[in-house]
A and B are shown apart, each in its own frame.
Chain A
Amino acid sequence: MKPTNSAPALAAAVLLGLAGWAALAASAAPPARPAFPEPAIRHGALLAAIGGCDGCHTSEGGAPFAGGRAFGGPFGAVWATNITPDAATGIGSWSPAAFAAAMRQGVRPDGQNLYPAFPYDHFTHASDADIADLYAYLMTRRPVIARTPSNHLAPPFDSRAAIGSWKARYFRPDPFVPDGAHDAEWNRGAYLVESLGHCGACHSPHNAQGGEERGRELDGAWAEGWYAPPLNGSTPAPTTWTQEDLNAYLGSGLDNRHAAAAGPMGSVVHELARASPADLRAIAVYLAQRMAPAAGAPARPPDHADAAARAHPAGALLFAGACATCHEAGAGMMMEGRPPLQLGTPLDEDNPRDVISIVRRGLEPPVGPAGPSMPAFADSLTDAQLADLVAYLRARYSDRPAWRDLAKAVADARKGPSG
């Protein structure tokens, strides 16, 4: 995930911190380490991909797992720590029990609480065996000397004592309980989604104190300026996400019946592409069941080309010159199996933000340096033109009501972290 720092003071703090961090980011001689069984290390690697550990704990261009990435929020910035086995600046001196306490209780070896930016409210549900394998994997990475910069948080959040009251209210360290009504694969998927996968960290609504809202798990939420859509029956997806669709999407970032991964999900699928195929399949089985529409298969996705052009002639004209060469039916790109626009979820969301962000910033290849990509249009279109275009897209490719006040939405996207 990319760091999100909206407040200028925060950005300054981040820059200062980065300078200090870069100076220390050199590799160290590996300390003597206990031997870990190969299968444990290999399994730990697959679990780390599900957990997306290096997505947060690796800075842009930095050494894997050496930390140095800031996560901003309304309360300030928290830095992802160095989780390489360097004894002084990483977790090299942590015992298996200390590692398990961090994962399961959100507590550091010195007894202090960890900030829940580290999603231990999910990791707490992980099994003993999986935590042990993750430990084996992390402890056999290359140790890197990289001191984690200090967090910059506004009072009272600058005190780790405040985390205690957060935990009392929102932290439920219950073990995962399998659901006997479903088979082993479904339960494996449910376990991974709720524990190491921590899907709810983005896809579940959180209250003002940063606690997950009870009873609204996976109901869709805002994350880093993007809307992470619901992963349950309230999905606005115009076509059903089948297990095969989810499997393709999670493993490659692209499913030709739905969409390409955008925003923070882009780095998530980079990680998931390295997970075990069996685990990805289990997640797909579980989510497909959760996302099954209550009222049967949705109607055929629309293409109201003529009506949309009449209602939004300026947008239609921009689409013809800027978008049609790739997105119109019969365009070369469509022959390569890209999802038609009416199949994507963003045009059916309640808020236009994701559509605006995708047009403004474009899309990176989902997995690996090569692959489908979309150019950014932020410098090509004015805010007014972008609003015309988005109004046309909604009218043409969705049956949902028109978005209101697109001019404001475009201006907000320009200023926001996803702009």
Chain B
Amino acid sequence: MTIVINVNGADHTVEADPSTPLLYVLRGELALNGPKFGCGLGQCGACTVLADGAAVFSCLLPLAAAKGRRITTVEGLGTIGALGPLQRAFEAEQAAQCGYCIAGMIMRAQALLEAKPNPSDAEIRLAMQPNLCRCGTHMRILRAVRRAAGAMAPARRPAS
């Protein structure tokens, strides 16, 4: 079946069964390998992408439910030459060890910072809870999210 999905700002026509989880199409058809297959059960978060700005597990999002929504993967946040604020922050804090969870972590954090530009530590921890890291770089990940929150927050207006 032919389905059109919008990923990182562009429409893509894919041939797939509408029940196929979005993750397989992103990786297999569109060569967007940022989102990872971790558990396939919505328990680890390695596959996290944005759907209309909300963080979702792409391993449990059927194509039929992805249709008509703006999908964003980590590739949509910046390029090698021009990294996005979260990508820069994760690099600056050296927040990746093996790196398998990081694309999902960044997307989960992106959803948080789009909704709440200046979250408290408790709010960051709560929002990041669905995503797991086996290497144990959690403290660096939290630092990276805090660093990006500062960078992404809109500049304060000078007092007039």
Of A321, A326, A333, A381, the residue contacting B63 (CB under 8 A) is A321
Residues B41 and A322 in contact, CB atoms below 8 Å apart: no
Which A positions have Cβ atoms within 8 angstroms of B? Answer: 314, 317-318, 320-323, 325-326, 332-333, 373-375, 377, 379-382, 385
- Asked, given contacts A332-B41, A380-B57, whether A375 binds B62 with beta carbons under 8 Å apart, the answer is no
- Asked, given contacts A375-B43, A380-B65, whether A321 binds B55 with beta carbons under 8 Å apart, the answer is no
- Say how far A339's CB is from chain B's closest CB, in angstroms: 16
Residues A333 and B41 in contact, CB atoms below 8 Å apart: yes
Main secondary structure on B side of the interface with A: mixed
30 A-B residue pairings within 8 Å (CB atoms): A314-B64, A317-B19, A317-B62, A318-B65, A320-B19, A320-B62, A321-B18, A321-B19, A321-B20, A321-B21, A321-B62, A321-B63, A321-B65, A322-B62, A322-B65, A323-B60, A325-B41, A325-B60, A326-B41, A326-B42, A373-B43, A374-B42, A375-B42, A375-B57, A375-B130, A379-B54, A379-B56, A380-B61, A381-B65, A385-B65
- Say how far B107's CB is from chain A's closest CB, in angstroms: 12
Task: State whether the Cβ of B40 lies closer than 8 Å to any Cβ in chain A.
Answer: yes
Residues A318 and B130 in contact, CB atoms below 8 Å apart: no
Residues A380 and B51 in contact, CB atoms below 8 Å apart: yes
Give Cα A144–Cα B64 distance, bound, in whole angstroms.
53
Chain A residues with CB under 8 A of B57: 375, 380
Which B positions have Cβ atoms within 8 angstroms of A? Answer: 18-21, 40-43, 51, 54-57, 59-65, 130
6 closest residue pairs by CB, A with B: A321-B62, A375-B42, A379-B54, A320-B19, A321-B19, A380-B56
Chain B residues with CB under 8 A of A320: 19, 62
Give Cα A333–Cα B42 distance, bound, in whole angstroms.
12
- Which residue of A has the minimal Cβ distance to B22? A321
In the complex, which of the residues A318, A375, A382 has the most CB atoms of chain B within 10 Å of its own CB atom?
A375
Give Cα A412–Cα B71 distance, bound, in whole angstroms.
27
Of A317, A332, A375, A379, the residue contacting B18 (CB under 8 A) is A317
Chain A residues with CB under 8 A of B41: 325-326, 332-333
Chain A residues with CB under 8 A of B19: 317-318, 320-321
In the complex, which of the residues A321, A323, A325, A373 has the most CB atoms of chain B within 10 Å of its own CB atom?
A321
Chain B residues with CB under 8 A of A382: 65
Chain A residues with CB under 8 A of B56: 379-380
- Asked, given contacts A320-B19, A321-B21, A322-B65, whether A375 binds B60 with beta carbons under 8 Å apart, the answer is yes
Residues A321 and B42 in contact, CB atoms below 8 Å apart: no
Give Cα A318–Cα B19 distance, bound, in whole angstroms.
6
Of A322, A326, A332, A333, the residue contacting B61 (CB under 8 A) is A322
Give Cα A380–Cα B54 distance, bound, in whole angstroms.
8
Residues A322 and B18 in contact, CB atoms below 8 Å apart: no
Chain A residues with CB under 8 A of B20: 321
Give Cα A380–Cα B63 distance, bound, in whole angstroms.
11
Residues B64 and A380 in contact, CB atoms below 8 Å apart: no
Chain A residues with CB under 8 A of B54: 379
Give Cα A320–Cα B55 distance, bound, in whole angstroms.
21
- Which residue of B has the minimal Cβ distance to A316? B19
Residues B60 and A321 in contact, CB atoms below 8 Å apart: yes
Give Cα A321–Cα B61 distance, bound, in whole angstroms.
6
Give Cα A320–Cα B19 distance, bound, in whole angstroms.
6
- Which residue of B has the minimal Cβ distance to A385? B65
Residues B55 and A318 in contact, CB atoms below 8 Å apart: no
- Say how far A330's CB is from chain B's closest CB, in angstroms: 14
- Which residue of B has the minimal Cβ distance to A362? B42
Residues A322 and B60 in contact, CB atoms below 8 Å apart: yes
Task: Known A-B contacts: A318-B19, A321-B60. Give 10 more (CB < 8 A).
Answer: A321-B20, A322-B65, A325-B21, A325-B41, A326-B42, A332-B41, A333-B41, A375-B57, A380-B61, A382-B65
